[in-house]
Amino acid sequence: MKPPYNYGISQEDALTERRALEIREGDRLLCVASAGEVPLNLLALGPIAIEAVDISPAQLFLCRLKLGACRALEPLEAAALLGFMDASAEKRRRLFDRTAAFLGDNEKGFWAANMPAVERGPIRAGRFERYLGRFSPAALAVLGERKLRRLFEQDTVAARQEYFDRHLSTALLKVLFKVAFHPRLYHKRGIAEEGLRHGGKRDIAEFFYGRFRDFCAATPARKNPYLQFCFFGRVLFPEALPEYLSEEGLRRVRENHASIAWRLESYQEAVDKSPPGRFNKFHLSNIGDWMGLEEYARLVALVCEKAAPSSLAISRYIHLDHPLPEALWERLVRRDDRGEELVRSDRFPFYNLVVMELR
């Protein structure tokens, strides 16, 4: 089965976005939809107006499925349907049938044509997740499941760091990273080529391995859905489910589902079409990794032009920290100290963070 979309899970910690953007009730957020975790989790954490945009129809179908699951199912049922927890193909089909009542005809048609993705668990059907799934069992074998589970018992950052250095950091694991993220494999099967346009000759495996210690140690493993999913292919503990699948979070999503709009358009188009002052919070994800220097500079200038006074923006990057246009320095201030602070507690710390104040 060809993956119907690139990402089953947005690889961004919405708790970080919430802190960076200082989200408050009444804010209006423009964000990248991706696989839906950022907008859905932020909606689960408080009543704000969100417009989530993406250029991929398939990614938006996935986002709408996740929202539909929140409206139709209880938290553990939604987690089972989506693939955060194990379930049989038959059970997922039954859960999907209940969810379909909250989907439009286009969404129903898409999933009818991609029923194997539903049966597999939609978040597991993404291109990146399927690629990662090829190496997760090997990583678990190298680390040792029993040793990795003991990481869940470490209560502090210092204890987790010490445990990682003593029991989990091995030369064999580093070799596995080099295989998994070798350009000939990763560039063709793990991510679309456009997302690596600024990768150059950089050793991406070395970079990811360098952040891997933080991934294991910076936050409690028992509450980190990304870490659990990466190694075990599922979330082990209900308390680690994404915020929109918690009891309280799902209730808020149901109550405020009309506050989120999914739009098939580029971020540039969405900003350009918006009246000045419509948005005061901007989540740009890592679209800079997919853009050229001039294109990204034009986008940032457009955001500055259209943003409400005293707005905030956050972007992420792996490959290229785009320089901000000199003409915007009086209007836009980078908070590099804030970005460095936030990434230290990010549950998926493989990105660098750029926090921007728009005056």
Residue 193's pLDDT is 55
Look at residues 19, 64, 4 and name the one whose alpha carbon lies nearest to residue 264. 64
Residue 43's pLDDT is 97
Which residues partner with 32 through β-bridges? 53
Instruction: Compute the distance between CA of residue 191 and CA of residue 6 in angstroms, rounded to an integer.
Output: 7
Residue 12's pLDDT is 95
Provide the residue-wise pLDDT of the chain in tens; the chain has 359 residues.
788 999 999 999 999 999 999 999 999 999 999 999 999 999 999 899 999 999 999 999 999 999 999 999 999 999 999 999 999 999 999 999 999 999 999 999 999 999 999 999 999 999 999 988 888 888 888 889 999 999 999 999 999 999 999 999 888 888 888 887 766 666 555 455 554 544 455 677 888 888 899 999 999 999 999 999 999 999 999 999 999 999 999 999 999 999 999 999 999 999 999 999 999 999 999 999 989 999 999 999 999 999 999 999 999 998 889 988 888 988 999 999 999 999 999 999 999 999 999 98
Distances (CA, A) of 258 to 3, 68, 70, 147, 262: 29, 12, 13, 45, 11
Query: If you count them, how many residues does the chain have?
Result: 359
Q: Are strands 311-317 and 260-264 parallel, antiparallel or unpaired?
A: unpaired
Measured in degrees and rounded to the nearest 5, phi and psi for residue 316 equal: -125, 155
Tokens read off for 200: 């150059």
- CA neighbours within 13 Å on the CB side: how many for 10? 31
Q: How far apart are the first and last CA of the chain?
A: 48
Residue 158's pLDDT is 96
Residue 182's pLDDT is 66
Residue 184's pLDDT is 65
Which amino acid does the sequence have at 126?
A: G
Instruction: Compute the distance between CA of residue 355 and CA of residue 33 in angstroms, rounded to an integer.
Output: 19
Residue 296's pLDDT is 94
